[in-house]
């Protein structure tokens, strides 16, 4: 290759490298807003989940919930479960999971999840609900550590008792997970039976700053985020023997 040819080849090579660098920069620029959006969404869900716990603990109809959470091994909080139907029904929402450490008894997390399901039958209406799932068994917690599972099929699910005069003694304690909800609006004919629970890896990564699995969060304890402390404190107080004093 002569000198002129070499110079031309060298110039083309540098142009190619520059083009690759610019392309990479554009990808990073485009990806950053998405990551920031995921981080903001995850942060908002954590804050809303804290309010949900406060709502459940102050609701006079949630006496059984307040009793049962003391024995729960995991708590999945969905601040807004949206449901709508006209014969065919659909529902969905995002939530956060906290798990009680077996050794220390401390609550850890959160990890982010999505719940989605469908139904068919005589139903009409729409509803936005606050939903809390209590994992009462090791099997229930272990199912939540999986990438996805189906409520009522892969794992035992039962409705938690709610209402004046209801008590924890009426709960189906053989179920792995108990479902509680507070609703505004009118709806009939749909439940969480058959809904699919799946991890939100994008939100977990955005919230903790790196790719993590539920096992990394709850078993290996590889990551923490101080922004979750208020939620963890709220769940800790809710699960205490005496929530009024905060003594567990």
pLDDT tens, the chain, 248 aa long:
555 554 444 444 444 333 433 343 333 334 456 778 999 999 999 999 999 999 999 988 888 899 999 999 999 999 988 776 555 567 789 999 999 998 899 999 999 999 987 654 444 556 678 899 999 999 999 999 988 888 887 788 888 777 666 777 777 778 899 989 887 654 444 478 788 999 999 999 999 999 999 999 999 999 999 999 999 999 999 988 554 554 55
Taking only Cα atoms into account, the Rg of the chain, rounded to an integer number of angstroms, comes to 23
Query: What sign does the CA torsion over 221, 227, 229, 230 have?
Result: negative
CB atoms within 10 A of CB 194: 14
Annotated domain spans of the chain: 55-238
* Predicted pLDDT at 84: 67
* Predicted pLDDT at 164: 62
* Predicted pLDDT at 234: 95
CA distances from 111 to 7, 199, 203, 204, 223 (A): 55, 8, 8, 6, 10
* Predicted pLDDT at 125: 55
Strand 157-159, strand 177-186: pairing: parallel
* Predicted pLDDT at 190: 46
**Tens of pLDDT along 162-188?**
766 677 777 777 889 998 988 765 444
Give the Cα separation of 243 and 49 in Å (integer): 18
* Predicted pLDDT at 242: 56
* Predicted pLDDT at 88: 58
Give the Cα separation of 98 and 235 in Å (integer): 8
* Predicted pLDDT at 172: 74
């Amino acid at each position: 290759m002569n000198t002129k040819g070499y110079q031309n080849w060298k110039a083309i090579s540098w142009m190619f490298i520059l083009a690759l660098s610019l392309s990479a920069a554009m990808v990073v620029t485009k990806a950053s807003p998405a990551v920031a959006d995921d981080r903001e969404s995850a942060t908002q869900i954590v804050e809303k989940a804290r309010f949900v716990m406060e709502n459940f603990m102050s609701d006079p109809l949630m006496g059984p919930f307040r009793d049962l959470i003391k024995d729960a091994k995991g708590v999945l909080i969905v601040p807004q479960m949206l449901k709508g139907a006209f014969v065919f029904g659909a529902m969905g929402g995002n939530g956060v999971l906290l798990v009680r450490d077996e050794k220390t008894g401390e609550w850890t997390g959160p990890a982010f999840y999505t719940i989605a399901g469908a139904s068919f039958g005589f139903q009409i209406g729409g509803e936005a609900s606050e939903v809390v799932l209590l994992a009462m068994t090791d099997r229930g917690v272990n199912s939540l550590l999986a990438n996805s599972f189906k409520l009522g099929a892969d794992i035992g699910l039962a409705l938690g008792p709610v209402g004046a005069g209801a008590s924890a003694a009426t709960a189906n304690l053989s179920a792995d997970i108990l479902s509680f909800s507070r609703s505004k609006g009118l709806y009939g004919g749909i439940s969480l039976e058959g809904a699919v629970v799946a991890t939100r890896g994008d939100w977990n990564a955005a919230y903790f700053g790196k790719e993590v699995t539920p096992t990394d969060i709850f078993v290996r304890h590889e990551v923490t985020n101080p922004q979750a402390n208020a939620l963890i404190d709220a769940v800790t107080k809710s699960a205490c023997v005496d929530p009024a004093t905060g003594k567990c």
